[in-house]
Amino acid sequence: MAAIEPEATFTNKAIPSKELPDYRLESLERVSKRLLSKILAGLGVFLIVMIIVAAILYTRDLFAVRYIIFGLLGVLFLMGLISTYHYFAQKNYGFVVREKDILFQKGVLVMRTTIIPFNRVQHVSTTQSLFDKYFKLKNVKIFTAGGQGSDIKIPGLTPEKALHIKEWIAHKIVEEEVDE
Amino acid sequence: MVGIVLIFLSALYKSLKGLWAIAIYVFLGKTSSFNYTYISLGLIAFAILILIFSILSYRKFLFHINYEADEFILNKGVFSSENIAISFDKIQQVYFKRSIIQRIIGVYNVVIQSAGSSEKEIEIKALSEEKAMLLQQKLNSFIEEESKAEEEELSTESFPEEKKKTVYWEHRLTFTDLLKLGVTSNYFRGFGLILIFFSSLYNQFADLFTENEYADEAANYLNTFQSVGEILMVLTFMFITVFLVGIVVSIIETFLKYFELKLTQSKDSLELEMGLKTNTKVSLHPNRVQILRLITNPIQRKLNMYQLQLSLTSSTETQKKNRINIPGLSWDKATKASRFLHHHEREEGEVYKPHKLWFYRRLFWGIVPVLAAALGLNYIFETLPNPVVLGLALVYAICIFLYQHKVYQKINLEISEEFLVKSTGLWSKMQVIIETFKLQSISVSQPIWLRRRKLVNITFHTASGDVRFPLVNEAFVTQVNYLLYKIETSTKAWM
């Protein structure tokens, strides 16, 4: 026992059951490969805008040509980095919807697994950006009463899957109330 | 229709705020009339675009109540779309908010609040009075139904005792207690306060000082000290003064904050009252306390003084006072109070420690950067002979090693049936106590460079903050599973 108490207390060790379901043994569901296409498309649009800007700068003679080329190369390099990052990020997104909780994993250099029990979910929302619409993707956000770190946002789901997850959780929340 | 106007105005306002730079350019710049026509044309086109956007976002903003699933559902978004569903029992509060514009137009802004941060609430910008009333009434009827049921449960068991309102025990801080607390509290805090005070003072009078002859005089005065011994004496003298002033400041702070502190427990409430400048009065309900911290230091422990720090769930009325400190409790009263605030008795559980790597890492960051900088500077300026520097470096390294070693010894995490207890602290010791069923979710993170070592960092999320525990072995996963099991099987209301 920590030294904060003035006297020693009796012991009664809690032994956690080895039979509890292990979250690591679940096989993760992956998000859609279209997520990567979506991000690349976004980057592509950004690149086109940059090229247009470069072209305008060139025609207006505001900067020397080599600066514009350097700038573009820099942008390209950064985009290459971002693309590789997202390649791995997309590969590593994973989730499992279980009977009593939802597990979500993400990360490139640091893998982070967050598990939210359904009886702690405050509300669920689905979002879809313009690019998402084009690539037929949807995001599911799951909110708890905890801080930002305790919430989950699963990107790159097919609309059916997103709806399914949302309905499942909503159903679970209601069921929970009935139990009580 | 009114909604469109409001959305239009707010969108216009928002985008104009972003365009203030252009506005300044227009008003201040040397613009010809030719530019003016272009700019005004551009602005009109811009306004039309925003109007179209407003109409679309008005038409896409749809909400309804799903009576079957007991949910409030909101759809919104023009280009991107969002669908939010909140079940009734998660709604904490429904209230109206009106800005000047909303008052003029005669609409209501309805806010639906659920537990958690303010970002998580839903706002419906422009509802006519009748619709707003209807919505509030509908939602409130659901909320009240539930809270009534809860109240009934409570009242049946507590009513007979309520009338007597017997005080079980009481905790007051006397003058001597306050004095003791002030003297034994953290001087570094007091020291910091002085530093802030003097630096602000210095900033204010800096101009005076620069022209003042006193500065020169002081410099001359310092120069008169010939020997190292005299300088050392002055330094010790200064150190002692600062130390004493630190104590005085700590005492004053303690008096201001905790003057006439009174904690009373009756059958089903714990009431707290304190403060000289601002009088705080809180009723502490077990359900609102998410994290309980027990803090003491060796001297206070000798004097049998413990501090309880309570982290409460944030709610609109008490957003600022999310942490409540109750200092100067005897061990007996501290346990009594925590027993009231917790649903179970504390038991011993399994104790976990971070991997040695945590210690090595802290050792590295404590020693290497400082020494590298010191050695580097000395190499450049050659102020001290090398053997002296190496000796000092060695002493520094040993001190840091001993300090970090102790810190490492003290940190641990204990998981028992109902509690999660994280203990830390070398001088001022702290126990962070969380009831397992009050956890909201758990995160496990693993940097890839720790994969081979099988180490993970754990974050426990509660409704009033996160508690982290670093670098535990992957075997800890059984505990994560166990905690999840505890949360998922708990039917107690965590709030």
Domain boundary residue, one of B222, B241, B258: B258
Question: Do B41 and B7 fall into the same domain?
Answer: yes
The two structure tokens encoding residue B451? 């994969």
Question: Do B333 and B431 fall into the same domain?
Answer: yes
At residue B31 the predicted structure's pLDDT band, cuts being 50, 70 and 90, is low
Supply the ipTM of this predicted assembly: 0.81
| Residue pLDDT tens, chain A, 180 long | 344 544 444 444 444 555 566 777 777 888 888 999 999 999 999 999 988 988 888 887 777 788 888 888 998 999 999 999 999 999 899 998 888 889 999 989 999 999 999 888 888 889 998 888 899 999 999 988 877 778 899 998 999 999 999 888 888 877 665 544
**Which of A115, A118, A130 is the best substitution to test chain B (most B C-beta atoms within 10 A)?**
A115
Let me know if residue A18 belongs to a domain. Answer: no
Question: Do A117 and A146 fall into the same domain?
Answer: yes
Give me the phi and psi of B407, to 5 degrees please. -55, -45
Question: Do B191 and B231 fall into the same domain?
Answer: yes
**Domain count of the fold of chain B:** 5
pLDDT at B155: 43
Question: Do B232 and B303 fall into the same domain?
Answer: no
The minimum CA-CA distance between B380 and chain A, rounded to whole Å, is 37
State the count of interchain CB pairs (< 8 A) between A and B.
Answer: 195
The minimum CA-CA distance between B384 and chain A, rounded to whole Å, is 43
Question: Do A98 and A162 fall into the same domain?
Answer: yes
Q: Which residue range is the domain that position B213 belongs to?
A: 175-258
Can you give the CATH number for the domain in which A166 is found? 2.30.29
Query: How buried is residue B275: exposed, middle or buried, by Cβ count under 10 Å (0-12/13-18/19+)?
Result: middle
pLDDT at A8: 44
pLDDT at A10: 43
Let me know if residue A14 belongs to a domain. Answer: no
Is the model more confident about A21 or about B113?
Answer: B113
Question: Do B348 and B445 fall into the same domain?
Answer: yes
Is the model more confident about B261 or about B424?
Answer: B424
Let me know if residue A101 belongs to a domain. Answer: yes
- A103-135 pLDDT, tens digit each: 999 989 999 999 999 888 888 889 998 888 899
Is the model more confident about B160 or about B404?
Answer: B404
Q: Which residue range is the domain that position A48 belongs to?
A: 31-92
B445 to A179: CB separation less than 8 angstroms, yes or no? no
**Domain count of the fold of chain A:** 2
A129 to B80: CB separation less than 8 angstroms, yes or no? yes
In angstroms, the CA B83 to CA B150 distance is 31
Question: Do B29 and B137 fall into the same domain?
Answer: no
B412 to A6: CB separation less than 8 angstroms, yes or no? no
The highest-confidence range among B9-23, B148-162, B179-193, B394-408, by mean pLDDT, is B394-408
Give me the amino acid identity at B161: E
Nearest to A127 among B81, B304, B462 (CB): B81
Question: In whole numbers, what is the pLDDT of chain B averaged over residues?
Answer: 77
- B214-265 pLDDT, tens digit each: 555 655 665 655 566 677 788 888 888 877 887 888 888 888 888 878 888 8
A146 to B348: CB separation less than 8 angstroms, yes or no? no
Can you give the CATH number for the domain in which B473 is found? 2.30.29.30
Let me know if residue A110 belongs to a domain. Answer: yes
Over residues B92-120, the mean pLDDT reads 75
pLDDT at B25 over 80: no
Q: CB pairs under 8 A, 24+ apart, for B297-304?
A: B297/B184, B297/B186, B297/B427, B297/B428, B297/B429, B298/B427, B299/B184, B300/B181, B300/B184, B301/A4, B301/A6, B301/B429, B303/B180, B303/B184, B304/A6, B304/B330, B304/B331
pLDDT at A87: 93
- Residue B450 sits at the chain A interface (C-beta within 8 Å): no
**Which of B440, B472, B474, B485 is the best substitution to test chain A (most A C-beta atoms within 10 A)?**
B440
Over residues B209-218, the mean pLDDT reads 55
Let me know if residue B270 belongs to a domain. Answer: no
Can you give the CATH number for the domain in which B89 is found? 2.30.29
In angstroms, the CA B214 to CA B216 distance is 5
- Residue B70 sits at the chain A interface (C-beta within 8 Å): yes
Over residues B128-137, the mean pLDDT reads 80
pLDDT at B451: 87
pLDDT at B118 over 80: no
Question: Do B445 and B394 fall into the same domain?
Answer: no
pLDDT at B320 over 90: no
pLDDT at B6 over 80: no
Question: Do A41 and A60 fall into the same domain?
Answer: yes
Lowest mean pLDDT among B38-42, B151-155, B192-196, B404-408: B151-155
B350 to A16: CB separation less than 8 angstroms, yes or no? yes
Let me know if residue A68 belongs to a domain. Answer: yes
Question: Do A54 and A79 fall into the same domain?
Answer: yes
Question: Do B301 and B345 fall into the same domain?
Answer: yes
- B266-294 pLDDT, tens digit each: 777 788 888 776 677 777 888 888 888 99
pLDDT at A72: 86
Question: Do A78 and A105 fall into the same domain?
Answer: no
The minimum CA-CA distance between A31 and chain B, rounded to whole Å, is 19
Let me know if residue A78 belongs to a domain. Answer: yes
Question: Do A69 and A117 fall into the same domain?
Answer: no
A146 to B414: CB separation less than 8 angstroms, yes or no? no
Question: Do B137 and B182 fall into the same domain?
Answer: no
Domain boundary residue, one of A92, A118, A134: A92
- B321-375 pLDDT, tens digit each: 578 888 888 888 888 888 888 877 777 888 899 999 999 999 999 889 988 888 8
Question: Could you tell me what percent of chain B has a pLDDT over 90?
Answer: 9
Question: Do A114 and A178 fall into the same domain?
Answer: yes
Question: Do A42 and A75 fall into the same domain?
Answer: yes
Let me know if residue A9 belongs to a domain. Answer: no
